[in-house]
Amino acid sequence: MSASTILTPDLPFDMSPRATAAGRDVTLQQFVNSATQIKDRGRVSACHAAFGDRYDEVRSLAGRIKQHTLDHLDEYLARFIENAEASGTRVHFAADAAQANAIALAIARENNCSRCVKSKSMVTEETGLLAALESIGITTVETDLGEFILQLDHDAPSHIVTPMIHKDRTAVARAFVRELGAPYTEDPGALTAIAREHMRRQFRSADLGISGANFLVAETGSMVICTNEGNADLAVSLPRVHIAMVGIEKVIPSIAHLSVFLKLLARSATAQPMTVYNTIVTGPRKPGAIDGPEHVHVILVDNGRTEILREETRELLRCIRCGACLNACPVYRKVGGGHAYGAVYSGPIGAVITPLLKGIANYPDLPHASSLCGACYEACPVKIDIPTQLIRLRRVMVEQHITGFGARLAYRSWARSLKNAWAYRASAAIQRLVLRQLSTGAENANSTGAWDNPEDNRMLPDAWCSDLPGPFRAWTSNRDMPVPARGSFRAWWAARGRATSGRSRGKYG
């Protein structure tokens, strides 16, 4: 698979082949599991070390600031535009990906740019800017080390913050031998030194620097770029022209508010107190300045964000792209990272915004790629309720008949059975009967399990359904299901109540 087909596969996208292959790939599982779990635990310890029991309050504040900004996004965008232009930045408005790329190309042509250095930006992946630049002959180098290696290897990122968690050092070594003519080495320090030397040659000769932005500050017209490598600083301060392509959701009200997000971003992403470089750029070089670009352009990108801005999904735009939800998600780990999602934005946040940006019918698997465990919601520094948004998407899929007839019938029956007590009891009794019939060893199961014996705390079933027929095979192919007891808990409780009538308190209260 080339980079383009990994993140822009044929639609509608079926997750199963990639997810299944990833589930069997032991090495991939090891890499992704360790990378994500380390960062997830790191986030918890870094945030508790810094904020103590104020962590939840800090997340609430960050969420409120972002939500407020989104609720008044027209105002804050207007302020950003005015203040950016007052500082000498030129602002452009791209309704969609094609326009965003076209504007960037036009700026590059106008300034006779031919050599571009680029720092990591998810929105430029979204629009496919790299390919567009190369199509008009502008050689473009990804300067973020992970992205650079992926570019050399014609591969695609699998994580929005640490893009290379699916690759090991031998793959890097081979790519450097093949593409850079470097000697083979597996030492990460030596590999990095090779990349550094190569990249410095690019920085020296570049006439165009392209970046994204982590934040846009409405009050000051500034853009904020956070990196650990310093590649963005080299890319945006040395070439004559700097273009930043930025989604509209990146706006925050004021420079003081930036403190809240900078204190959360790196701790949530990589367990660091801050990224090594936090760069706040406000305009091009002033007359008499020593260095800096002559022209600074910001391309504000919509590309479906105004759709998500509608009230019922607005909170999704709070996202600060920290990757904490990816690191927390058991599904993300199991499917081997971002490639299984078939889109630029993966993990829990990607499972919701990709269908919204690209069409729910095109990504029908993503809203279901979740056990609704809520780990993402707990990890999110701006408290986006991803589980609720996933459920909302599932409901929309049913309403729009994207979900198949059989599944819709099952949902409808299930909903009916929950609506009154008689229907619930009847359906539960039928399920118990059917499952006991279909399972092996059910006749040996005791009638009410450990409920009979208050001393027995195991509550373990004595028999299992391992091989259910029809659509239920999808469940039992990977896991056994416990056989239900012969009678219901409610019936047992009611019977017990009659037997011990007069006593208001038993062992179980």
Partner 1 sequence: MNQRHRSIEGGRPGSGFGGVSREQFLDRVRASLRTPTRGVANKRDAFAVPQAPEDLSVVRLADRSVDLVRMFAERAAVSGMNVHHCEPDRVADAVVGILSSVEARSAWFSLPTAECRPIRSECDRQGIRTLDDNSFRSDDERFEIDAGITGCEAGLAETGTLVLCSGPDRGRGVMIVPPVHIAILRESQILPDMLDLWERFPTDPEPGMVDARRRIMPTSLVMVSGPSKTADIEGILITGVHGPKAVHVVLVSGPG
Query: Least separation, in Å, of the C-beta of 361 and partner 1?
Result: 21
Which one, 257 or 383, has the nearer CB to partner 1?
A: 257
Beta bridge partner(s), residue 246: 300
Query: Least separation, in Å, of the C-beta of 432 and partner 1?
Result: 48
The stretch among 78-86, 328-336, 379-387, 482-490 that binds partner 1 (CB under 8 A) is 78-86
Q: What is the dihedral of CA 489, 494, 496, 499, to 10 degrees?
A: -160
Which one, 83 or 268, has the nearer CB to partner 1?
A: 83
Which one, 60 or 431, has the nearer CB to partner 1?
A: 60
By the 8 A CB rule, do 349 and 319 touch? yes
SS3 readout for 86-124: HCCCEEEEECCHHHHHHHHHHHHHHCCCCEEEECCCHHH
Report the C-alpha gap between 433 and 29 in whole angstroms: 39
Query: Least separation, in Å, of the C-beta of 398 and partner 1?
Result: 24
Question: Which residue in 275, 327, 346, 362 binds partner 1 (CB under 8 A)?
Answer: 275
> Taking CB under 8 A as the criterion, which residues in 377-436 touch partner 1?
none
> Taking CB under 8 A as the criterion, which residues in 15-74 touch partner 1?
31, 34-35, 38, 50-51, 54, 57-58, 61, 64-65, 68-69, 71-74
Question: Which residue in 41, 48, 196, 473 binds partner 1 (CB under 8 A)?
Answer: 196
Residue 19's alpha-carbon distances to 23, 272, 342, 504, in angstroms, are 6, 31, 10, 53
Report the C-alpha gap between 5 and 29 in whole angstroms: 22
Beta bridge partner(s), residue 482: 464
Which one, 74 or 456, has the nearer CB to partner 1?
A: 74
Which one, 277 or 464, has the nearer CB to partner 1?
A: 277
Report the C-alpha gap between 389 and 352 in whole angstroms: 7
Taking CB under 8 A as the rule, does residue 289 contact partner 1?
yes
Question: Which residue in 7, 19, 28, 77 binds partner 1 (CB under 8 A)?
Answer: 77
Total site size for partner 1, rule CB under 8 A: 113
Query: Least separation, in Å, of the C-beta of 64 and partner 1?
Result: 5
Prior bond to 12 cis, omega within 30?
yes
> Taking CB under 8 A as the criterion, which residues in 86-145 touch partner 1?
86-87, 90-95, 99-100, 102-103, 106-107, 110, 143-145
> Taking CB under 8 A as the criterion, which residues in 139-178 touch partner 1?
143-146, 149, 162-165, 168-169, 172
Pairing of strands 115-118, 208-211: parallel
Report the C-alpha gap between 419 and 253 in whole angstroms: 46
Which one, 337 or 461, has the nearer CB to partner 1?
A: 337
The stretch among 289-297, 400-408, 439-447, 460-468 that binds partner 1 (CB under 8 A) is 289-297
